[in-house]
Protein backbone atom coordinates (compact mmCIF):
# COMPACT_ATOMS: atom_id res chain seq x y z
CA UNK A 1 0.00 0.00 0.00
CA UNK A 2 1.40 3.39 -0.88
CA UNK A 3 2.62 5.86 1.71
CA UNK A 4 -0.14 7.81 3.35
CA UNK A 5 -2.98 5.66 2.03
CA UNK A 6 -3.87 4.08 5.37
CA UNK A 7 -3.44 7.33 7.29
CA UNK A 8 -5.54 9.36 4.84
CA UNK A 9 -8.37 6.84 5.04
CA UNK A 10 -8.37 6.85 8.82
CA UNK A 11 -7.94 10.49 9.73
CA UNK A 12 -11.18 11.69 8.19
CA UNK A 13 -13.42 11.77 11.23
CA UNK A 14 -10.75 10.29 13.53
CA UNK A 15 -11.80 6.68 12.92
CA UNK A 16 -9.88 3.66 11.80
CA UNK A 17 -10.50 2.02 8.39
CA UNK A 18 -13.40 -0.06 9.64
CA UNK A 19 -14.99 2.92 11.35
CA UNK A 20 -15.27 1.39 14.81
CA UNK A 21 -12.16 2.10 16.85
CA UNK A 22 -10.86 5.54 17.73
CA UNK A 23 -7.26 6.26 16.71
CA UNK A 24 -6.12 6.15 20.35
CA UNK A 25 -7.71 2.73 20.96
CA UNK A 26 -5.50 -0.31 20.50
CA UNK A 27 -7.11 -2.61 17.93
CA UNK A 28 -7.71 -6.31 18.43
CA UNK A 29 -5.53 -8.25 16.00
CA UNK A 30 -6.36 -11.77 14.84
CA UNK A 31 -3.99 -14.10 12.95
CA UNK A 32 -4.43 -14.52 9.21
CA UNK A 33 -1.11 -15.89 7.86
CA UNK A 34 1.73 -17.20 10.01
CA UNK A 35 5.39 -16.53 9.30
CA UNK A 36 5.58 -20.13 8.02
CA UNK A 37 2.67 -19.50 5.62
CA UNK A 38 4.39 -16.37 4.35
CA UNK A 39 7.77 -18.09 3.95
CA UNK A 40 6.16 -20.90 1.92
CA UNK A 41 4.34 -18.40 -0.31
CA UNK A 42 7.52 -16.36 -0.89
CA UNK A 43 9.48 -19.50 -1.77
CA UNK A 44 6.78 -20.59 -4.24
CA UNK A 45 6.70 -17.14 -5.87
CA UNK A 46 10.51 -17.01 -6.05
CA UNK A 47 10.63 -20.39 -7.80
CA UNK A 48 8.11 -19.23 -10.42
CA UNK A 49 9.88 -15.91 -10.99
CA UNK A 50 13.35 -17.52 -11.17
CA UNK A 51 12.10 -19.93 -13.81
CA UNK A 52 10.71 -17.08 -15.92
CA UNK A 53 13.63 -14.66 -15.57
CA UNK A 54 16.72 -16.89 -15.47
CA UNK A 55 19.42 -15.31 -17.64
CA UNK A 56 17.59 -11.95 -17.95
CA UNK A 57 18.51 -8.56 -16.49
CA UNK A 58 15.57 -8.16 -14.13
CA UNK A 59 14.64 -4.89 -12.45
CA UNK A 60 12.34 -5.20 -9.43
CA UNK A 61 10.23 -2.13 -8.71
CA UNK A 62 8.55 -1.81 -5.32
CA UNK A 63 6.24 0.76 -3.77
CA UNK A 64 7.37 2.12 -0.42
CA UNK A 65 6.72 1.59 2.36
CA UNK A 66 4.66 -1.56 2.69
CA UNK A 67 6.50 -3.81 0.24
CA UNK A 68 10.02 -3.58 1.70
CA UNK A 69 9.88 -6.77 3.83
CA UNK A 70 8.30 -8.81 1.06
CA UNK A 71 10.86 -7.60 -1.49
CA UNK A 72 13.80 -8.33 0.83
CA UNK A 73 12.63 -11.90 1.46
CA UNK A 74 11.75 -12.48 -2.19
CA UNK A 75 15.16 -11.32 -3.44
CA UNK A 76 16.96 -13.63 -1.01
CA UNK A 77 14.89 -16.56 -2.30
CA UNK A 78 15.31 -15.66 -5.99
CA UNK A 79 19.06 -16.29 -5.96
CA UNK A 80 19.51 -14.55 -9.33
CA UNK A 81 21.03 -11.11 -10.02
CA UNK A 82 18.43 -8.34 -9.83
CA UNK A 83 18.37 -4.56 -9.61
CA UNK A 84 15.96 -2.98 -7.15
CA UNK A 85 14.09 0.30 -7.55
CA UNK A 86 11.59 1.90 -5.20
CA UNK A 87 8.95 4.48 -5.96
CA UNK A 88 6.87 6.46 -3.48
CA UNK A 89 3.23 7.18 -4.27
CA UNK A 90 0.59 9.07 -2.34
CA UNK A 91 -3.17 8.70 -2.56
CA UNK A 92 -5.64 11.09 -1.12
CA UNK A 93 -9.37 11.10 -0.62
CA UNK A 94 -11.96 11.10 2.11
CA UNK A 95 -13.08 8.43 4.54
CA UNK A 96 -12.22 4.78 4.12
CA UNK A 97 -12.50 4.59 0.32
CA UNK A 98 -9.69 5.50 -2.02
CA UNK A 99 -10.68 8.24 -4.44
CA UNK A 100 -8.28 6.98 -7.08
CA UNK A 101 -6.34 10.25 -6.94
CA UNK A 102 -2.69 9.14 -6.94
CA UNK A 103 0.44 11.23 -7.26
CA UNK A 104 4.09 10.32 -7.71
CA UNK A 105 6.23 11.47 -4.77
CA UNK A 106 9.45 9.75 -5.91
CA UNK A 107 9.81 8.21 -9.33
CA UNK A 108 12.39 5.91 -10.90
CA UNK A 109 16.09 6.71 -10.64
CA UNK A 110 17.07 3.89 -13.05
CA UNK A 111 16.45 3.81 -16.80
CA UNK A 112 14.19 0.80 -17.46
CA UNK A 113 13.87 1.27 -21.23
CA UNK A 114 14.28 -2.13 -22.88
CA UNK A 115 14.57 -3.89 -19.51
CA UNK A 116 12.49 -6.68 -17.98
CA UNK A 117 10.60 -5.22 -15.02
CA UNK A 118 8.84 -7.01 -12.19
CA UNK A 119 6.60 -4.85 -10.01
CA UNK A 120 6.42 -6.28 -6.48
CA UNK A 121 3.63 -5.08 -4.19
CA UNK A 122 2.51 -6.11 -0.72
CA UNK A 123 -1.26 -5.80 -1.20
CA UNK A 124 -3.68 -4.82 -3.95
CA UNK A 125 -7.25 -3.90 -3.14
CA UNK A 126 -9.02 -1.24 -5.27
CA UNK A 127 -6.33 -1.40 -7.97
CA UNK A 128 -6.06 2.38 -8.38
CA UNK A 129 -2.50 2.66 -7.06
CA UNK A 130 -1.05 -0.25 -9.00
CA UNK A 131 -2.72 0.86 -12.24
CA UNK A 132 -1.26 4.33 -11.78
CA UNK A 133 2.21 2.80 -11.37
CA UNK A 134 1.85 0.44 -14.34
CA UNK A 135 0.79 3.36 -16.59
CA UNK A 136 3.83 5.30 -15.35
CA UNK A 137 6.14 2.36 -16.13
CA UNK A 138 4.68 1.86 -19.62
CA UNK A 139 5.74 5.40 -20.49
CA UNK A 140 9.35 4.38 -19.73
CA UNK A 141 9.11 1.63 -22.40
CA UNK A 142 10.41 -1.50 -20.65
CA UNK A 143 10.88 -4.64 -22.74
CA UNK A 144 8.36 -6.37 -20.48
CA UNK A 145 6.76 -6.03 -17.12
CA UNK A 146 4.84 -8.32 -14.83
CA UNK A 147 3.20 -7.94 -11.45
CA UNK A 148 3.87 -9.94 -8.29
CA UNK A 149 1.67 -9.38 -5.23
CA UNK A 150 1.69 -11.05 -1.85
CA UNK A 151 -1.93 -10.26 -0.89
CA UNK A 152 -4.73 -9.90 -3.42
CA UNK A 153 -7.91 -8.43 -1.93
CA UNK A 154 -10.18 -9.09 -4.93
CA UNK A 155 -13.43 -8.18 -3.17
CA UNK A 156 -12.39 -4.52 -3.07
CA UNK A 157 -11.30 -4.26 -6.71
CA UNK A 158 -12.54 -1.13 -8.49
CA UNK A 159 -10.42 -1.39 -11.64
CA UNK A 160 -9.12 -4.53 -13.36
CA UNK A 161 -5.60 -5.69 -12.53
CA UNK A 162 -3.66 -8.53 -14.18
CA UNK A 163 -1.56 -10.31 -11.54
CA UNK A 164 1.14 -12.64 -12.84
CA UNK A 165 2.37 -13.96 -9.48
CA UNK A 166 0.04 -14.11 -6.45
CA UNK A 167 0.80 -15.20 -2.90
CA UNK A 168 -2.64 -15.20 -1.24
CA UNK A 169 -6.17 -14.14 -2.09
CA UNK A 170 -7.32 -12.45 1.10
CA UNK A 171 -10.77 -11.72 2.52
CA UNK A 172 -12.04 -8.15 2.74
CA UNK A 173 -10.36 -7.40 6.08
CA UNK A 174 -7.95 -4.67 7.10
CA UNK A 175 -4.58 -6.39 7.44
CA UNK A 176 -1.34 -5.43 9.19
CA UNK A 177 2.10 -6.90 9.74
CA UNK A 178 4.99 -8.03 7.57
CA UNK A 179 5.60 -4.44 6.47
CA UNK A 180 1.94 -3.44 6.21
CA UNK A 181 0.91 -0.75 8.68
CA UNK A 182 -2.03 0.88 10.40
CA UNK A 183 -1.08 4.53 11.01
CA UNK A 184 2.62 3.46 10.96
CA UNK A 185 1.96 0.75 13.56
CA UNK A 186 2.46 -3.02 13.29
CA UNK A 187 4.92 -3.11 10.34
CA UNK A 188 7.31 -5.05 12.60
CA UNK A 189 5.03 -8.06 13.03
CA UNK A 190 6.56 -11.20 11.45
CA UNK A 191 3.13 -12.53 10.48
CA UNK A 192 0.00 -11.02 8.89
CA UNK A 193 -3.01 -10.27 11.07
CA UNK A 194 -6.33 -8.52 10.59
CA UNK A 195 -8.11 -5.94 12.69
CA UNK A 196 -11.12 -7.60 14.26
Quote the CA–CA distance of 117 and 112 in Å, as a whole number.
Answer: 7
| pLDDT tier for residue 100 given thresholds of 50, 70 and 90 | low
Please write the tens of the pLDDT for every residue from 13-55.
333 444 444 455 788 999 999 999 999 999 999 999 999 999 9
- CATH of region 5-195: 3.40.50.2020
Ranges of each domain in the chain: 5-195
CB 124 within 8 A of CB 134: no
pLDDT in tens, 60-92: 999 999 999 999 999 999 999 999 999 999 875
Active site residue 125: yes
- Among candidate residues 122, 125, 152, 181, the one labeled active-site is 125
How large is the C-alpha radius of gyration of the chain?
16
Q: Is 90 left (phi over 0), alpha (psi -120 to 50) or beta?
A: beta
**pTM given for the model:** 0.83
- CA–CA dist 76, 62 (Å, integer): 15
| Residue 50 vs residues 45, 46, 53, 116, 121: alpha-carbon distances, Å | 9, 6, 5, 13, 17
Diameter over CA atoms, the chain: 51
Nearest CA among 91, 148, 140, 141 for reference residue 119: 148
**Cα(149)–Cα(87) distance, rounded to whole angstroms?**
16
Amino acid sequence: MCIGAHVDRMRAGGYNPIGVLRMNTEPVLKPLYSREDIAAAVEKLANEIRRDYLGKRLVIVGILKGSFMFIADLIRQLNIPVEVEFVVLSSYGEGTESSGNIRMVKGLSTDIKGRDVLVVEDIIDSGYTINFLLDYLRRHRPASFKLCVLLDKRERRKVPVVIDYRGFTVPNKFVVGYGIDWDEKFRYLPDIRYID
